[in-house]
Amino acid sequence: MMMMITQNPSFFNPFRLALSQICTELGCFSTYIAVIIAITFGLVFIIAFALYGYIQRKPRNSKTIMEKFKGQPRLPKFAVPRRYDIRLKPDLDACKFAGSVAIDLDIVDDTKYIVLNAAELSVDTDSVMFTNRDVSEVFEPLQIDLVQDDEILVLEFAETLPIGHGVLSIGFDGTLNDKMKGFYRSTYEHNGEKKNMAVTQFEPVDARRCFPCWDEPACKATFKITLDLPSELVALSNMPVVEEKVDGHLKTVSYQESPIMSTYLVAVVVGLFDYVEDHTSDGVRVRVYCQVGKANQGKFALSVAVRTLELYKGYFAMPYSLPKLDMVAIPDFAFGAMENYGLVTYRETALLYDDQHSAAANKQRVVTVVAHELAHQWFGNLVTMEWWTHLWLNEGFATWVSYLASDSLFPEWKVWTQFLDEPTEGLKLDGLAESHPIEVEVNHAGEITEIFDAISYKKGASVIRMLQSYLGAECFQRSLAAYIKKYAGSNAKTQDLWAALEEGSGEPVNKLMNSWTKQKGYPVVSVKFKDQNLVFEQSQFLSSGSHGYGQWIVPITFCCGSYDVRKNFLLQKKSETLDIKEFLSDKRDAASAWIKINVDQTGFYRVKYDEDLVAKLRYAIENKYLSPTDRFGILDDSFALCMARQQSLSSLLTLMGAYRGEPEYTVLSNLINISYKVATIVADAAPELLDYVKQFFISLFQSSAKMLGWEPKKGEGHLDAMLRGEILNALAVFGHDLTLNEANRRFLAFLGDRNTPLLPPDIRKAAYVAVMQKVSTSNRLGYESLLRVYRETDLSQEKTRILSSLASCPDPNIILEVLNFLLSSEVRTQDVVFGLVVSREGRETAWNWLKVNWEHISEVWGSGYLLTRFVSTIVSPFASFEKAKEIEEFFATRTKPSIARTLKQSIERVHINANWVQSIQNEEHLVQTLKELAQRE
């Protein structure tokens, strides 16, 4: 109140003058009259003054003022942050933290309000003030409102703030939560004692849970960070330490001020760690931090990181921009990894590699994840998306370029063939009516998490690869380097990238790519051969079989009978006819030549061939005339068309038969994944045919299994090791007795000696699945033995291998035990999702379990993307319209923004499965086809 009086002396003037005038005119009237008049004026004054104060202190009296800040996707632009000075004091025992922040601001518009983000913080209202540096004036807010639904902090001041430079100071307290977001706690053991570490995970919108800030990617600023903590702990942040002061059991650590960056890239990690260290050729210090005693497991990732930084320096034509790079393995981590500038955090499974107990697949994952996160140091951190609509710019590009790096470091892994797994997943999700465009509108912070999906990552990577293939690798790289140079230290939109590539190539990139990023879905290109012409038609592909209305500019590539005879063109209309007489020589005429569209699967679309073209391609597959990437593409497109009821299951199974003896890892891996889905859908549609299906698939995979054997061969490659595990896993799932018996024999040897060569890491998952196939309520030994292995190992990769095997058991009672075990304290919150993939026999058990435990699950996992995994994994496998209705009814009153899209997608998948079941039930020649294929050697 005193501040208001001091700042508004003119408020009293009318009352003072009026009282003086009346007293003069009254003259010698009695004192009695004078007192009455004085009292009256006093009451009027008090009422007016109170009303004035009420108006000043109650902004909600004008609802339009406060309401305009609510429900908005973006913060108002009154103020622009330039620099943060942050001080944090984590208490790892009490799981709390105290902090203060001084934010340098530019007030750029007339306002009585400062609006910024804050969530789950207790703000010290007495500490909040704004100091205008131009006039050296201090402003204290009249009112402070924390709007929880919108996660904003609204500061209202008595008068309009001066335009210019100032500092906003705020003190606050918070909780080190267990939700794996914001400033949170992770647990680990040291010398047999359970301890906490403090970790940050701010992407997408959780910096606001650590300190009040402008938590939007476009609001870039510099950051000066200081930490107060126990002296024995290691404290890491984005930048190197500039000063460390020890005072008894406490120390204060100050870090260099960061370059300009977004809030979601700020990072702090506090705990006990070992590390290994190396340097790049230009002096960048690189370290891998991990739990004490695990330093050796960080050496492989360290080597990969140093080599990758060197590679990207050349590819982007710009050196890494910070003086150091730290990579830290975190025991509890929701995502796979996070690209914080200069301090990249990882799940242990994505960073650590153990020569004795990690599989080849684990090794490859370390490489691709490290390469992905380090790509972000340029593409995301240095040049940042302007808003979450452009998330795909970060994630799609980093996914694509991680393969570029992996291929350069390990060419023998043939990762560009393995890249096909990315478009496959993207095509699956984008074939749903409930998909979304790559450039998706984001209207609330709660919606952002759901777009960290296969569209942003995998479709994004796929259209980047498609464009690079169209423009040429050299032109693409040159234009990309120019883009990064132009936008370094600032923000960019999708159109900015297209403009750079268009300028560098002279091609109509913007026009071409808008059809792929601004609308959801993709085309299926139907092709038929007629009178030495190829007739192309495009229409939107939907897995439901429904008709879509999209239209694309499609980069078509095709070969006729040989990879030496190829043609490229843009399909810009609904249909187009192409004369191909020039491609058909006397020896390669229309009667014998195979024709492959979308050569090497560089385009993000599906192809549907007429029956004659399919027959020729099947012959080419059997005789290995086609490249592995094209063999992969033909199979994947056929499977998708079958699911959409545009092709019979008999036709798909006949095509799958052509892959007998397939040698290539990526092709065979996809064949296995398709076989799992086909077996499940046949069991739903015609259970009496399931034995024939299993027999066919066992015969399909046996020759590859015999060739690989159970044990590594001298000189065999990385891909052989990965394939062995997948083949044996498939044979176990389909009930191959010899595989089941041998797996159980080797598992018993492993129980007696964890270092036995009889069960190397690459086949452990297959052995665990085989063990669980024989487990039942009356035969629990295998299950209990696996739990013992789980409890005794401290290797995260081994724990996730076991978790992902347990629910493959066909006994629903055991599955219920497994699901309840997932919710126990023995399983880290981040790892529960690995155990949710249940056998077909356990689907109903899993659904009932989800319903019973939904309130608990929603509470524990409800604030992050992991909750969507519960929904999609348990709901999607069903295949009846009745179940879809039941699911809709259950979630009708239980949905929330963070799962809304995933729920719709999952229910749509149930409908797709149900329609597929009906079409299989009506298929005439399926029984005959299956019997013939099952008997074929």
Q: Does the global pTM surpass 0.85?
A: yes
Assigned domain for 156 exists: yes
pLDDT at 816 over 80: yes
Q: Minimal CA–CA distance to 116: which of 158, 150, 65? A: 150
pLDDT band at 924 (very low <50, low <70, confident <90, very high): confident
**Secondary structure (DSSP) of 441-506:** ---SHHHHGGGSSTIIIIIHHHHHHHHHHHH-HHHHHHHHHHHHHHHTTSEE-HHHHHHHHHHHH-
Confidence bin at 66 (pLDDT 50/70/90): low
| Judgement on whether residues 547 and 675 belong to the same structural domain of the protein | no
Return the pLDDT at 167. 97
pLDDT of residue 12: 41
The rounded percent of the chain whose pLDDT value lies above 90 is 84
pLDDT reading at 2 higher than 60: no
pLDDT of residue 551: 95
Which tokens is 555 given?
A: 């980069």
629, 663, 687 - which closes a domain = 629
Tell whether 395 is in a known binding site.
yes
Q: Which residues contact 157 (CB under 8 A, 6 or more apart)?
A: 112, 113, 114, 130, 139, 140, 141, 142
Any domain includes 536: yes
Pairing of strands 575-579, 566-571: unpaired
Domain identity same for 734 and 853: yes
pLDDT digits (tens, 9 = 90+) for 556-600: 999 998 898 889 999 999 999 998 887 776 544 555 689 999 999
In order of 167, 216, 238, 276, the CA distances from 265 in angstroms are: 22, 11, 8, 23
DSSP secondary structure string for all residues of 69-99 = TTT-SS--SSEEEEEEEEEEEEETTTTEEEE
Q: Give residue-wise pLDDT tens across range 572-583.
A: 999 999 988 877
Task: Determine contact, residues 641/543, Cβ cutoff 8 Å.
Answer: no
Q: Work out the end-to-end distance of the chain between its first and last CA atoms, rounded to an integer number of angstroms.
A: 92
Coil, strand or helix: which one is 388? helix
Question: How far are the Cα atoms of 37, 57, 297, 460, 522 from residue 390, in angstroms, in the given order?
Answer: 69, 40, 35, 10, 19
Reply yes or no: is the peptide bond before residue 760 cis, omega within 30 of 0: no
The length of the chain in residues reads 937
Q: Which residue has the higher pLDDT, 530 or 320?
A: 320
**Residues 834, 806: Cα–Cα separation, whole Å:** 10
Say which residues have a Cβ less than 8 Å from residue 706's Cβ, sequence separation at least 6.
Answer: none
For residue 506, the domain's CATH number is: 1.10.390.10
Helix (H, G, I), strand (E, B) or coil at 237: strand
Q: In the predicted model, is pLDDT for residue 602 greater than 90?
A: yes
pLDDT at res. 42 = 54
CA–CA separation, 920 and 643 (whole Å): 10
Indicate the range of 79-83, 210-214, 290-294, 590-594 predicted with least confidence. 590-594
Tell me: pLDDT of 98 over 90: yes
The pLDDT confidence band at residue 53, using thresholds 50, 70 and 90, is very low
User: For 705-737, what is each residue's pLDDT tens digit?
Assistant: 999 999 998 889 999 999 999 999 999 999 999
Q: What H or E segment, with its residue span, contains residue 52?
A: helix 31-57
Helices 781-792 and 761-773, axial angle in degrees (round to 10): 150
Question: Positive or negative CA dihedral for 60, 64, 67, 69?
Answer: negative
Give the per-residue SS3 of 686-701: CHHHHHHHHHHHHHHH
Task: Count structural domains, the chain.
Answer: 4
Tell whether 498 and 557 lie within a shared domain.
no
What is the spatial distance between Cα 664 and Cα 708, in angstroms, rounded to a whole number?
12
Of the candidates 82, 123, 138, the residue with the CA atom closest to the CA atom of residue 105 = 82
The confidence band for 303, taking pLDDT boundaries of 50, 70 and 90, is very high
Q: Residue 579 in 3-state DSSP?
A: strand
Given a cut of 50, is residue 236 above it in pLDDT? yes
Residues 593 and 612 in one domain: yes
Q: Which residues contact 847 (CB under 8 A, 6 or more apart)?
A: 874, 875, 878, 883, 887
pLDDT-based confidence at residue 332 (cuts at 50, 70, 90): very high
DSSP H stretches of helix in 140-293: none
Predicted confidence (pLDDT) per residue in 845-870, tens digit: 999 999 999 999 999 998 778 999 99
530 and 508 within one domain:
no
Q: What is the CATH number of the domain that holds 227?
A: 2.60.40.1730
Q: Is residue 675 part of a domain?
A: yes
Q: Are both 639 and 748 inside the same structural domain?
A: yes
Burial, 692: exposed, middle or buried (Cβ in 10 Å; 0-12, 13-18, 19+)? buried
Helix (H, G, I), strand (E, B) or coil at 664: coil
Question: Which sign does the torsion angle of CA 106, 108, 114, 119 carry?
Answer: negative
On whether residue 126 sits in a domain, the answer given is: yes
| Annotated catalytic residue 373 | yes
What average pLDDT does range 125-134 have in this prediction? 93
Where do we find the tokens 């191959």? Answer: 736
Given a cut of 50, is residue 225 above it in pLDDT?
yes
- The conformational region for residue 196 under phi > 0 = left, psi -120 to 50 = alpha, else beta, is beta
Does residue 221 surpass a pLDDT of 50?
yes
Say whether both 625 and 635 belong to one domain. no
Kindly tell me the burial class for residue 697, based on how many C-beta atoms sit within 10 Å of its own C-beta (0-12, 13-18, 19 or more): buried
Last residue of a domain, one of 219, 242, 265: 265
Tell whether the model's pLDDT for residue 56 goes beyond 60.
no
Active-site choice (203, 373, 447, 908): 373
Mean pLDDT of the chain: 91
Angle between helices 737-752 and 781-792 (to 10 degrees): 50
Domain harbouring 567, CATH code: 2.60.40.1910
What pLDDT was estimated at residue 582?
77
The burial class, CB within 10 Å (0-12 / 13-18 / 19+), for 499 is: middle
Alpha-carbon gap, residue 760 to 240, rounded angstroms: 41
Q: How far apart, in whole angstroms, are the C-alpha atoms of residue 328 and residue 464?
A: 29
**Residue in the structure block whose two tokens are 């307290």:** 173
Tell me the C-alpha distance between 528 and 534, whole Å: 6
Same domain, residue pair 538 and 681? no
Q: What is the DSSP annotation of 391-422?
A: HHHHHHHHHHHHHHHHHHH-GGG-HHHHTTHH
HSE-up of residue 846 (Cα within 13 Å, Cβ side): 27
Q: Which of 575, 602, 629 is the last residue of a domain?
A: 629
Task: Tell me: is residue 436 an annotated ligand-binding position.
Answer: no
Domain hosting residue 560, numbered range: 521-629
pLDDT at 72: 87
Q: How far is the C-alpha of 839 from the C-alpha of 833, rounded, in Å?
A: 15
- 343 belongs to a structural domain: no
**Does residue 497 belong to any structural domain of this protein?**
yes
Instruction: Please check whether residue 292 lies inside any domain of the structure.
Output: no
List pLDDT tens digits, range 771-812. 999 999 999 999 999 999 999 999 999 999 999 999 999 999
Co-location of 621 and 634 in the same domain: no
Tokens of 551: 């239209």
Shared domain for 696 and 745, answered yes or no, is yes
Residue 239 burial class via C-beta count within 10 angstroms: exposed 0-12, middle 13-18, buried 19 and up: buried
Distances, alpha carbon 14 to alpha carbons 35, 302, 530, 646, in Å: 19, 76, 96, 85
The answer to whether residues 265 and 344 touch, using CB atoms and an 8 Å cutoff, is no
Tally Cβ neighbours within 10 Å of residue 133.
Answer: 13
Q: What is the mean pLDDT of residues 60-88?
A: 82
Handedness of CA 869, 874, 879, 883 (dihedral sign): negative
Residues 761 and 637 in one domain: yes
Local confidence band at 448 (pLDDT 50, 70, 90 cut-offs): confident
- Please return the burial class of 205, using the count of CB atoms within 10 Å of its CB with bins 0-12, 13-18 and 19+: buried
Tens-digit pLDDT profile for residues 658-684: 999 899 999 999 999 999 999 999 999
Above 70 in pLDDT, residue 293? yes
pLDDT of residue 9: 38
Pairing of strands 250-255, 222-230: antiparallel
Do the domain assignments include residue 814? yes
DSSP letters for 332-376: S-SSSEE--TTEEEEEGGGT---TTT--HHHHHHHHHHHHHHHHH
Report the alpha-carbon distance of residue 89 to residue 229 in Å, rounded: 6
Question: What mean pLDDT do residues 204-221 have?
Answer: 97
In the beta sheet, which residues pair with residue 328? Answer: 289, 345
- Residue 30 pLDDT exceeds 60: no
Do 537 and 479 lie in one domain? The reply is no
In this prediction, residue 588 carries a pLDDT of 47
CATH of the domain at 693: 1.25.50.20
Does 911 show up as a binding residue in the annotation? no
What pLDDT, on the 0 to 100 scale, is given for residue 23? 42
CA distance 444 to 896: 12
